[in-house]
Amino acid sequence: MNDADDRGVPDIDRIPEGPAAPDRIGTGERMGDPATVPDPAEVEVPDDFREEIERLMALYPDRRSATIPALHAAQARYGWCSPEALRQVAAVMQVTPSYLSSVASFYDQLNEQPVGRRHVFVCTGVACHVVHAKRVYDAIAEEARVTGLEDTEVREFECLGACDMAPIASVDGRYIGPLDPSDAPEIVASIREGRTPLPGRGLEDSDYRLPWGGRA
């Protein structure tokens, strides 16, 4: 039976135990077992890792702001956002691992699967696309495949913000370009041998110049 309140708005019957029953919203009860915050006493976290996350949390008015920096730190340490890495971060930050997972799954640079410790991001954004970045990516991916390059993530990446150097790639964060498909063997070989790929052609190299002579 519907009663109307004093503003004439009918009071709608609710199913008391329904999924959207007001007293259940936000309690974590709606989807089966509630997610739990790991007990710090039960999770072993290396001291320096704990200190790093605590230092990050202290930078912000709200500790959760340190989520992305902490996940970056976890990834730098463990190579990827593994369930164990998330558990450790969650224990220090006092949040649920699933919350961290919800964040990690949103961002391109955070991986919830092991992908290799070295990263080759080939930009195939629109500005690189018109100077045939796909050929560069195909050449690097093919070279990595036939030579059996291990522990390395080679992927196409959306605009890296260096369209003046197009076509470009970021190798472990170092921007190199402009690239040609013929650079692929040298890039792959230098990653395998632990050398810096294409010295002098990286944005951070002091003598770096664009092919027409300008600075980037």
Partner 1 sequence: MEPDELLHELEESGLRGRGGAGFAMGKKASFLPKGSMDKYLCCNADESEPGAFKDRLLLQRNPHQLVEGILIGAAAAGANRAFIYIRGEYELQAEILDRAIREAYDKGYVGERILGSEHSISLVLHRGAGAYICGEETALPDSLEGKRGNPRLKPPFPANAGLYQGPTLINNVETLCNVPAIIENGAEWFKSVGTEKSTGTKIVSVSGNVRRPGNYEIELGMPSRDIVYGLAGGPPEGRRVKCWFPGGSSAPVLVEKDLDLSYDFETMAEAGSMLGSGSIIVVDDSQSIVSLALRLAEFYRHESCGKCTPCREGTNWTVKMLERVESGEATPADLDVMADVQTNIIGNCLCVLGDSMAMPVGSMIEKFRDEFEEHIEQARRRNGGLPLAAHGGRADEAVGSTAA
What character string, x for contact with partner 1 (CB under 8 A) and - otherwise, covers 114-133?
-------x--xxxx-xxx--
Phi-psi map region of 200: left, alpha, beta (phi>0 left; psi -120 to 50 alpha): left
Residues 78-97 touching partner 1, rule: CB under 8 A, are none
Near partner 1 by CB under 8 A: residue from 53, 103, 122, 176: 103
Q: Which helix (H) or strand (E) holds 30?
A: none
Q: Which CB atom, from 21 or from 126, has the smaller least distance to partner 1?
A: 126
**95: Cβ–Cβ under 8 A, 6 or more apart, which residues?**
37, 64, 67
Q: Cβ of residue 134: shortest distance to partner 1, in angstroms? A: 9
Please state the closest distance from residue 29 (CB atom) to partner 1, in A: 21
Please name the residues in contact with 113: beta carbons below 8 A apart, sequence gap of 6 or more: 80
Nearer to partner 1, 70 or 139 (CB): 70
Question: Residue 162 phi/psi, 5° resolution?
Answer: -145, 50
Q: Is the dihedral of CA 11, 13, 14, 17 positive or negative?
A: positive
Out of 11, 44, 158, 186, point to the residue binding partner 1 (CB under 8 A).
158
Tokens of residue 46, six digits: 């290396």
- In angstroms, the Cα distances linking 28 to 37, 88, 89 are 12, 21, 20
Total of chain residues touching partner 1, rule CB under 8 A: 47
The verdict on 205 binding partner 1 (CB under 8 A) reads no
Distance CA 68, CA 108 (A): 12
Q: How far is the CB of 6 from partner 1 (least distance, A)?
A: 29
- Nearer of residues 24 and 64 to partner 1, judged by Cβ: 64
Does 160 sit near partner 1 (CB under 8 A)? yes
Q: 33 to 62, contacts with partner 1 by CB under 8 A?
A: 59-62
Q: How many CB atoms lie within 10 A of CB 181?
A: 17
Residue numbers at the binding site for partner 1 (CB under 8 A): 59-62, 64-69, 71-72, 102-103, 106-110, 121, 124-127, 129-131, 157-164, 166, 170, 173-175, 203-204, 210, 212, 214-216
